[in-house]
Amino acid sequence: MVNEKKVNTFINKWKDVEFESSCSKTPQFIEFTKDFKTAFKHALGDSAKAIKFNVGHFYISGFITLANDSIVYFSISDVRGFPGAWAKDILVRTAKSYTDYKGGSNNFCTLLTIGEKVNNLW
């Protein structure tokens, strides 16, 4: 079950934050990443059996294994310069494996609707 209260708490904490740019991961982005992973799990609720996160240079992507063993790729764009975009524009698409970065058609959802969206991709 989706925990909207915890997801909204995360969104409200970070939505207007302007991230410091750097050639390496900043303490601010590391804290955001930790909070994002927790909120992402709450947003998926019972939809996900497993999640593999890839934390890049100011972006996060990864794969979700659904309860029916289907795999979905997800990605949020660079968090610098677009405050709150990570909560409004999450890329999701079907994938054949945890190395399938091409996958199916691009779809977009919000952090609050990701659980429903990934279940409707298959």
Tell whether the model's pLDDT for residue 82 goes beyond 90. no
Tell whether the model's pLDDT for residue 81 goes beyond 90. no
Which of 121, 69, 67 lies closest to 90, judged by CA? 121
Instruction: For residue 122, name the pLDDT band (cuts at 50, 70, 90).
Output: confident
Tell whether the model's pLDDT for residue 83 goes beyond 80. yes
Q: What is the pLDDT of residue 70?
A: 96
Look at the chain and report how many structural domains it folds into. Answer: 1
Instruction: For residue 106, name the pLDDT band (cuts at 50, 70, 90).
Output: very high
Q: What is the pLDDT of residue 120?
A: 93
The answer to whether 86 and 17 have CB atoms below 8 angstroms apart is: no
Instruction: State mean pLDDT over 96-121.
Output: 95
Q: What is the pLDDT of residue 1?
A: 79
pTM confidence score = 0.94
Instruction: State mean pLDDT over 39-44.
Output: 96
Residue 16 is part of which domain span?
A: 4-121
Neighbours of 34 (CB within 10 A): 11
